[in-house]
Structure 1
Amino acid sequence: MSGLSLTTCGPSSFWGMSGRGPGPSISIETKEVTRAHRDPSADAIRARRLFDADLSYIVHPSFDDPGAEDAILASMPTSAVAQASRRGKAPTGISPYLASLYDEAPLLTREQEAHLFRKMNYLKFRASRLRAQIDPDRARAVDLETLERDLEAALAIRIQLVRANLRLVVSIASRNLGPHDDLFERVSDGNVVLFRAVELFDSSRGNKFSTYATWAIRNQLARAAQAKHHRQSRFLLGQEEVLAIAADPRTEAVDPSDLQEQRQAAVARLLARLGDRERRVLVGRYGIGGACEQTLTQLGQELGITRERVRQIEARAQDKLRGLARAHELAPLLA
C-alpha cells in the first residue's frame, strides 16, 4: 500500500493552489507501507486528526435518497462552448498575477456550479456519517482511508469553486479601492470571505453563488474600510489630545510657526516613548513627519512580520499614545 507524505515550504498555503504568485512549493514522497508493519500509534494519530476535522455541511434533499449517490458523485457536466465563452476579461491596471486569474479557471455554468456544491457537501455528509460509526480507539485503517478520501475530494472541489471565483474578488476589490488602499490587501480580505462563502452557500435554494458571494465580499470590504477609518480617526483624536495637553493657556500669543514647531516636538517626544517597532509602524501608516504612507503588507515585509501582527502593533501603539496624553506625561517630556 502506498502512502503520501506532503511537505509544504513557504508563507502561505492559499497561494500554492493557484500555481502562481507567492506561495509554497510542495514536495511529495511516496512510501510503501504494508498492513503487517503498520504502526498502531500512527492510526491513532490519524483518527484523532480526522475526528478533529470540521465536517459541517449544507444539507441537500437528495442526500437521503440512496439512488441519487451515483448522480451526485458523477463528473461535472462539461460544455466546450460554454467553457470557451465564459472566460472573463481582466480589469486594466492590475498586476500580471491578478490578471492571470482570469485565464486560469473558466467561469462555471449554473449547472456546473450546482453540481459541484452538492457533490462537495455530500462528500462531507458521507464522511460525517462514517465518522459517527467509528470508535476512535479502535479505528480500522480501511475506514480511516475512506474518510480521508472523502475529505480530500471535498477539499479539491472547494478549491475548484474558489479558483473559479477569484476573479470576482479582484473585480469587487478593484471597484471599491480607496485612494490609500492596497489592492492586494483588499483582495486578501475578500479571499477569506470567498472561502467562507463556499462553505455556507446553499445551492438548493436556486440562487447563483456569485450573487451570494458578491454581497458577502462587499459587506466585508465595507466593514474593513470602516474599521480602517475608525483606527485613523482614533489616532488623529489621540494627536488632538496630545496637542491639547501641550497647549498652555497662560502663554501669550505665540507665532504660528513657533507653535507648530512646539507641537511637532511634543509629538516627536511622545512617540519616543514607544518601542522601535511601534514607532516605525505609526510613522509608516500615517506618514508622520513627511514619511510616505505604507500599507500593512509593506510594513510587514519590511519588519518581517505578518499583516495581522502589524495591525496589532498599530492598535497597541495608539492606545499607548492616548494613555500617555491622558496621564499628562507630556509636560515632563517637554521640560
Structure 2
Amino acid sequence: MFRKFNYLKHKAGKLREELDPTRPKSGLMDQIEQLYEEAVAVKNLIIRSNLRLVVSIAKRHVGPVDNFFELVSDGNMSLMRAVEKFDFGRGNKFSTYASWAIMKNFARTIPDELRRRDRFRTSNEEMFSATEDVRSDQYEQEHAQEQREQQIGKILERLDDREQKIIISRFGLVRGQEPLTLKEVGAEMGVTKERVRQIEARALSKLRKAAQEEKIEIPGL
C-alpha cells in the first residue's frame, strides 16, 4: 500500500510542477485532483488498518489520572504523521515504525513516560521493553484494567443507545473490535460524520459529568 501511496503522491507532484498557474489546463487539474484523491484513499485505508494499534498502546500507557480518550486522539494524530513520514524502502515494518512514533509522542505528553524514555532510549527494542515494564506486577496491571473497564461500563449506562454506540465504536471499547472513523460510524447509523462528531462531543460531556457525580476517576474523562 505504501508503494502505491508514494507513487500517487509523486506523480501528482510531478504533474503539479507542469501546471501553468496563469493558464491552468482543466484536464491536467482534474488528473492531479484524481491522483490526490486516490492517494488520500490509500492513506485512510492504512490509518484504519492501524487504529487498533493506537488503542492498544494507549491502554498500556494510561495511568490513574490520564485521559484515555485524549491519549487515543493524540495517538491517532501520531499515526497519521507516521503514514506520511514512513519510508517503506528501508525494509522496516510500518507497525514497528508507527508504534515507535506513537510511544515517542506519549513520552512527551506523559511525565512518567518522559522519564522512562530518558532512561531507555538507546534502541527501539529497549523502548518497547520499558513500556511493557510500566508496572512490575502483571496481575496488578490486569486488575487495574478490569476496574477501568467496569467503571467505564458503569457510566456508559448514563448515555442513550445512540450515544453508547458512537462512543463504543469510535474508541473500540469492545474487545476485538477495531475503532471506527466518524465516516464509518455515520454510515452504520445513517447520519453524516459531522452529526456523529456532534453526538460524540455531547456524549463525552455527559460521561465527564457522570464520572464527577459518581466520584469515579476514569482515565479518558
The equivalent of 1:147 in structure 2 is 32
Indicate yes or no: 2:88 matched with 1:176: no
Residue 137 of structure 1 and its aligned partner are, at CA, apart by 1.6
Residue 294 of structure 1 and its aligned partner are, at CA, apart by 7.9
- Matches of 1:208 and 1:144 in 2, distance apart? 34
Residue 136 of structure 1 and its aligned partner are, at CA, apart by 1.0
The equivalent of 2:110 in structure 1 is 225
- Matches of 2:216 and 2:20 in 1, distance apart? 56
The structure carrying a bigger helix percent of its residues is: 2
Residue 293 of structure 1 and its aligned partner are, at CA, apart by 8.8
The equivalent of 2:195 in structure 1 is none
Instruction: Name the larger-Rg structure.
Output: 1
- Matches of 2:217 and 2:27 in 1, distance apart? 53
List per-residue Cα deviations over 1:6-35 (Å, max 9, x = no partner). Answer: xxxxxxxxxxxxxxxxxxxxxxxxxxxxxx
Matched to 2:10, the amino acid is: F
- Matches of 1:227 and 1:124 in 2, distance apart? 38
The equivalent of 2:45 in structure 1 is 160
Matched to 2:54, the amino acid is: V
The count of aligned residue pairs is 123
The equivalent of 1:130 in structure 2 is 15
The equivalent of 2:95 in structure 1 is 210
Residue 187 of structure 1 and its aligned partner are, at CA, apart by 0.4
Indicate yes or no: 2:90 matched with 1:198: no
List per-residue Cα deviations over 1:113-137 (Å, max 9, x = no partner). Answer: xxx1011111110011001011112
Q: How does 1:1-335 map to 2 (within 5 A)?
A: 116-226=1-111
Unmatched segments (≥5 aa) in structure 2: 115-207, 209-214
Matched to 2:63, the amino acid is: G
Matched to 2:42, the amino acid is: I
Task: State whether residues 47 and 80 of structure 2, in contact with CA within 8 Å, keep that contact through their aligned partners in structure 1.
Answer: yes
Residue 226 of structure 1 and its aligned partner are, at CA, apart by 2.1
Percent identity over the alignment is 48
- Matches of 1:127 and 1:214 in 2, distance apart? 29
Residue 224 of structure 1 and its aligned partner are, at CA, apart by 0.7
Residue 183 of structure 1 and its aligned partner are, at CA, apart by 1.4
TM-score, L = length of structure 2: 0.51
- Matches of 2:77 and 2:9 in 1, distance apart? 21
Matched to 1:163, the amino acid is: R
Residue 179 of structure 1 and its aligned partner are, at CA, apart by 0.6
Residue 295 of structure 1 and its aligned partner are, at CA, apart by 8.6
Q: Relative contact order: is structure 1 or structure 2 higher (C-alpha 8 Å, sep ≥ 6)?
A: 2
- Residues 147 and 185 of structure 1, relative CA distance in 2, 3 Å threshold: same
List per-residue Cα deviations over 1:186-205 (Å, max 9, x = no partner). Answer: 10000000000000000011
Unmatched segments (≥5 aa) in structure 1: 1-115, 230-283, 285-291, 299-335
The CA RMSD over aligned residues, in Å, is 2.7
Matched to 1:154, the amino acid is: A
Matched to 1:131, the amino acid is: R
Q: What secondary structure, in the 3-state scheme, does the structure 1 residue paired with 2:63 have?
A: coil
Matched to 1:214, the amino acid is: S
Matched to 2:8, the amino acid is: L
Residue 180 of structure 1 and its aligned partner are, at CA, apart by 1.3
List per-residue Cα deviations over 1:209-246 (Å, max 9, x = no partner). Answer: 011111110111121112999xxxxxxxxxxxxxxxxx
- Residues 181 and 296 of structure 1, relative CA distance in 2, 3 Å threshold: closer
- Residues 228 and 202 of structure 1, relative CA distance in 2, 3 Å threshold: closer
The structure carrying a bigger strand percent of its residues is: 1
